Amino acid sequence: MQYGHFDNLNREYVIDRVDLPVSWTNYIGTGDMMGVFNHTAGGYLIYKSSEYHRITRFRPNGVPMDGPGHYIYLRDGEDGDFWSVSWQPVGKPKEHYSCHHGLGYVNYLCNYSGISASQKLYVAMDDPVEIWDLHLRNDSGRTRTLSVFSYCEFSFHQVDMDNRNFQMSLYAAGSRYEDGVIEHDLYYEEDGYQFFTSNFTPDGFDCLRDRFIGPYRTERNPLVVETGETTGSFEKGGNHCGCLKKTLTLAPGEEARLLFLLGEGGIDAGRAMREKYTPERADEDFRRLAAFWDRKLSCLQIETPNEGMNTEINLWNLYQSEINVMFSRFTSFIEVGGRVGLGYRDTAQDAMMVPHSNPEKCRSRLVELLRALTTYGYGLHLFEPRWFEPEQKQQSFKSPTVVPTPEKSRIVHGLKDACADDALWLVSSVVQFIRETGETGFLDETVTYADGGEGTVYEHLTRILDFSAREVGQNGICKGLRADWNDCLNLGGGESAMVSFLHLWALRNFVALARFLGRRDDAENYEALAGKVQKRCREVLWDEGWFIRGITADGRRIGTHADTEGRVHMESNTWAVLSGAATREQGLAAMDSVNDYLFTEYGLMLNAPCYTAPDDGIGFVTRVYPGLKENGAIFSHPNPWAWCAEALLGRGERAMKFYNALCPALQNDKIEVREAEPYSYCQFVVGRDHTAFGRARHPFMTGSSGWAYYAATQYLLGVRPDFDGMTVDPCIPGSWTEFRVTRRWRGSTYRIHVSNPEGVEKGVREILVDGKKVEKLPILPEGSACHAEVRMGKEREA
C-alpha cells in the first residue's frame, strides 16, 4: 500500500494520503535554527540546542499524535466553518490534503471549501527566522471572506524545565504585543526572547495559549478560531502562543499571500525582520535554499539500472546523512532533546560519510571529537562540545535556568565508562577526510585533550591506536569495556571481536596515511602491530564457518556453533572482512553464514536466533524483546557493513540483494508493513521473531544513513577518493551493463562511465581518462573536468 510518491524531478516526496500510520518527518534549517516537522505540521523549532534552547513546545509520544505544531487555521466568514491547511489539528476529510517534503522545507497543500491553500515552512538563510509562507486562492467562483489564524505554542528554553519544573517555567515567561509583533520573553535569561510577526498588519492577536484554545478544548477546536474573534491577550507569566489574525476578502480567482515569521530576538528584532522579509526576499531565500542543496547533491550524482539506488544516492540518502552531521543527533520525535551534546561514536561515523558535500562541518565535528579525546586514548562517550571550546561565553549573572557547567573531574569519565569502539571510528574518519580533501595540514594542527594538555591531530590518532593495543584481555582481543558499537552487548566487560577488527581497520587506514606522508617509522611500526592484531584475530576468533562475537568476562565464547541463541552476529562477521582480518576463504564462509542466518526480505538481522532469557554475562541485549532493536531486529546501521564485505569479496549480486532489501525507496508500496517514511533509513526494522516483522522505526537520526551512502558509493559503485588519485573499483550485479557517476573531487568534475560488457560482478580491465590509460583517476588542476571510461572485465590487464 502506498501513501505517496517520489517526485525526483522536483526533489520532493509527496504524501497523497495524509492519514499515515505514524508521523513522517522532515527537517528545516541549514544553520543554528532548525526544526523537525511531520506531515501535519506537528513538530518543533530549536535554536542551536534541542535541550537548552527550544523555541516551540512539543508533547512527545502523545495523544493526539505528535503535536502541537506550527499551524494555520482558515475560517469561512459566512458559515463559520474552519479547517487547518496542514490537515491536522482540525482534521477535515483527508482527501483535501497533501504534504510535500522537500530538502529543508515542508509544504502543506489543501483544497477545501473552494479555497486552495498552501503553507510552506522553511528557515531563512541568513537570519534565525522561520518563514511560514501562506498562499491562498479563491477557486469557489464567488466572493469569499476568510479569516486566517496562525498558531504555535512557545516553549521554555530548557526542555526539562519546560516539562517538569512548572513552579519555575510558568512564572518566568511573559508575552506582549506591539506594532504587529508578539514577543515571548523568558525573563531570567539573557537571550531569552522570541518574536512572532508577519508581513502584514494583523487584525487581532493572542499571546496566551489558554485564551486561544479555551477551556476543555484542544488545538482541534480552539475557541478563538471557532468564534472568529481574537482576544488580544498577553501577560507576564503563563503559557504563550503566537496567534495573529487577518481577515481577507477574495474575489473569484483572487489570490493572496501572507508571511508569518517566527524568530530569535525581541520586539526590535521582530520589527527589523518584518521589514526585511518581504515576499520577494522570502522567494530569494527559498531559491538560495534550493541552491544550497543543489551544491551538495551535485557533488555526486549517479545513473544506474537501480531506480531505488538512484533515488537514494542522488537525493534522500545524502540529505539524511547531511542532516545527521548538521544536527547530530538529538532532535527528532524520538530523541526529543533530553540528552546533551554529541555521542562520540555516532558523530565520528557521521563525519566520515559526507566530507565531499560538507567538508566544513565534517572538519569541525572532527575537531570537536579530537578535543573530547583523553590523553589516555579513549573518547568521552557523550559530551558537550562547548565544554572544550577555547573561549566560553560567560553569562553575566547566575540564573536558576542556565546550563550547569559540570566540574572537569565529572566531565572526564574514567575508563570504566569508556566504550571501546568510540575513538577508533575517529581514526578512519580523519583519514577519510584527508583522502577527500587532501588537507594534510590538518594533521599538524594542535588540538587540546579533554583531560588537559595538547598535541597534533596526528598524535591524537596514535593515542587512539595505542589505547586499543594496550586494552586487551587475556586472549589478546580488545576489551569491550562498557560496550562496543552494540550498546546492549557488553559481554560482561569481556573481549570484543568487533573492537579488534575495528582496531585493525583503523590501523590499516593509519598506515596508508603515514606511508603517504612519508612517516616511514610510524608506517612500519603500526603495520607490524596490524600484522599481530590480524594474526590474533584469525587464531582466536574463528569458529569453523564464521567469526564469534566475543568472549565474556568469565571466558565464554559468544556466537559459536554451540550457541542456540545469538549464534551468528553481523558485527563480527562483516568487520572480519572489512578490516582484512579474515582470509578469503574465511570471509566467504562468514558472509555465507550471514546470508543463511540473518537475511530477510527487509534486510539483515543483527543476530539470530534471538535471545530469550536474561544473561547478564552477555549483556542487556538478552533483556530486549526478541525481534526488537539489538535483539535480532534488522538493525539498519550494520547492514551496509555487509554490502561492503560482499563488495570486497567480489559478490555483486549478493551485495545488491542486501542493498535492495533495506532500501527505503524500494519499500514505497509496502507501507502497511513498513509504516515509516520510505525516504529515510530507520534505526531498525522489526525482525522475523516479532509479530510486527518488517515495521520500521526511528527515522533520520541514525548512522544507517551515512553508512548506506558510503557503502553504496565507495564499495558498490566503487568510486573511492584516495590520497593520490580516485580509485574506481565497482562491485555490481552481472546483469548491469553500465552505469554513470558524476563526482566532484578536489575542485574538479569527473564524469565516469563504467561499462560491463562481460557481465562480471567485479574487476576492472581498463580505465581511460580523456582517452589516456591510467590506474587511478588523477588529481586535476582545480576547476577542470574530465571524462573517464572504465571497462569492467574478468582480469585487470598487466
- Least distance (Å) between residue 499 CB and ligand GLC: 12
- Contact between residue 159 and residue 152 where contact means Cβ atoms under 8 Å apart: no
- Least distance (Å) between residue 217 CB and ligand GLC: 39
Closer to ligand GLC by Cβ: residue 488 or 588:
488
Distances in Å between the alpha carbon of 176 and those of 180, 194, 208, 236?
Answer: 10, 11, 10, 8
Closer to ligand GLC by Cβ: residue 334 or 692:
334
In whole angstroms, give the CA distance from residue 120 to residue 598. 43
- Least distance (Å) between residue 325 CB and ligand GLC: 15
- Contact between residue 688 and residue 399 where contact means Cβ atoms under 8 Å apart: no
Distances in Å between the alpha carbon of 521 and those of 122, 205, 750, 762?
Answer: 53, 72, 35, 35
- Least distance (Å) between residue 52 CB and ligand GLC: 20
Q: Can you read off the three cell numbers belonging to residue 613?
A: 532469557
- Of 32, 160, 451, 487, catalytic: 487
- Least distance (Å) between residue 241 CB and ligand GLC: 34
In whole angstroms, give the CA distance from residue 27 to residue 677. 13
User: Applying CB under 6 A, what is the total number of residues that bind ligand GLC?
Assistant: 10
Closer to ligand GLC by Cβ: residue 101 or 698:
698
Closer to ligand GLC by Cβ: residue 208 or 633:
633
Closer to ligand GLC by Cβ: residue 485 or 709:
485
Q: Give the contacts of 9 (CB within 8 A, at least 6 positions apart).
A: none
Strand boundaries in 572-724, DSSP class E: 599-600, 603-604, 607-608, 634-635, 682-685, 696-699, 719-722
Span 488-507, contacts to ligand GLC by CB under 6 A: 488
Beta pairing partners, 727: 720
- Least distance (Å) between residue 127 CB and ligand GLC: 32
Question: Pick from 630, 646, 689, 761: which binds ligand GLC (CB under 6 A)?
Answer: 630
Window of 298-306, 311-319, 482-490, 745-753 that interacts with ligand GLC by CB under 6 A: 482-490
480 belongs to the binding site for ligand GLC (CB under 6 A) = no
Q: Is the dihedral of CA 485, 491, 495, 501 positive or negative?
A: negative
Question: Pick from 19, 210, 487, 615: which binds ligand GLC (CB under 6 A)?
Answer: 487
Q: Give the contacts of 653 (CB within 8 A, at least 6 positions apart).
A: 733, 734, 761
Closer to ligand GLC by Cβ: residue 332 or 534:
332
Report CA 412 to chain centroid distance, whole Å.
27
Is-catalytic flag, 487?
A: yes
- Contact between residue 512 and residue 470 where contact means Cβ atoms under 8 Å apart: no
Closer to ligand GLC by Cβ: residue 240 or 381:
381
Span 341-370, contacts to ligand GLC by CB under 6 A: 343, 345-346
Helix (H) or strand (E) holding 646: helix 639-649
Window of 5-13, 309-317, 485-493, 502-510 that interacts with ligand GLC by CB under 6 A: 485-493
Closer to ligand GLC by Cβ: residue 695 or 743:
695
- Least distance (Å) between residue 452 CB and ligand GLC: 27
Query: What letter does residue 164 receive in the DSSP assignment?
Result: H
- Least distance (Å) between residue 31 CB and ligand GLC: 24
Window of 315-323, 481-489, 639-647, 728-736 that interacts with ligand GLC by CB under 6 A: 481-489
Question: Pick from 107, 486, 496, 748: which binds ligand GLC (CB under 6 A)?
Answer: 486
Span 661-700, contacts to ligand GLC by CB under 6 A: 683
- Least distance (Å) between residue 640 CB and ligand GLC: 13
Window of 308-316, 339-347, 352-360, 752-760 that interacts with ligand GLC by CB under 6 A: 339-347
Q: Assign 3-class secondary structure to 759-785.
A: CCCECEEEEEECCEEECCECCCCCCCE
Q: Give the contacts of 489 (CB within 8 A, at least 6 positions apart).
A: 483, 549, 550, 618, 619, 620, 621, 630
Closer to ligand GLC by Cβ: residue 113 or 429:
429
Span 105-164, contacts to ligand GLC by CB under 6 A: none
Q: What share of the chain is helix, strand, coil (3-state, %, to 5)?
A: 35, 30, 40
In whole angstroms, give the CA distance from residue 43 to residue 58. 6
DSSP strand pairing (97-102 vs 12-15): antiparallel
Span 702-721, contacts to ligand GLC by CB under 6 A: 702
DSSP strand pairing (550-551 vs 105-112): unpaired
- Least distance (Å) between residue 485 CB and ligand GLC: 5
- Least distance (Å) between residue 619 CB and ligand GLC: 10
The radius of gyration of the chain's CA atoms, rounded to the nearest angstrom, is 28
549 belongs to the binding site for ligand GLC (CB under 6 A) = no
Q: Is 425 helix (H, G, I), strand (E, B) or coil?
A: helix
In whole angstroms, give the CA distance from residue 377 to residue 466. 7
Angle at 353 between CA 761 and CA 342, to 5 degrees: 145
- Least distance (Å) between residue 335 CB and ligand GLC: 9
Nearest residue to ligand GLC by CB is 487
Closer to ligand GLC by Cβ: residue 219 or 346:
346
In whole angstroms, give the CA distance from residue 193 to residue 208. 16
485 belongs to the binding site for ligand GLC (CB under 6 A) = yes
Q: Give the contacts of 223 (CB within 8 A, at least 6 positions apart).
A: 211, 212, 213, 214, 217
Q: Can you read off the three cell numbers belonging to residue 530?
A: 596490524
Closer to ligand GLC by Cβ: residue 666 or 682:
682
Neighbours of 295 (CB within 10 A): 12
- Least distance (Å) between residue 725 CB and ligand GLC: 33
Closer to ligand GLC by Cβ: residue 380 or 728:
380
Q: DSSP string of 19-43?
A: --SS---EEE-SSSEEEEE-TTSBE
Q: Is 207 helix (H, G, I), strand (E, B) or coil?
A: strand
Closer to ligand GLC by Cβ: residue 374 or 705:
705
In whole angstroms, give the CA distance from residue 163 to residue 173. 14
Site residues, ligand GLC (CB under 6 A): 343, 345-346, 485-488, 630, 683, 702
Catalytic residues: 487
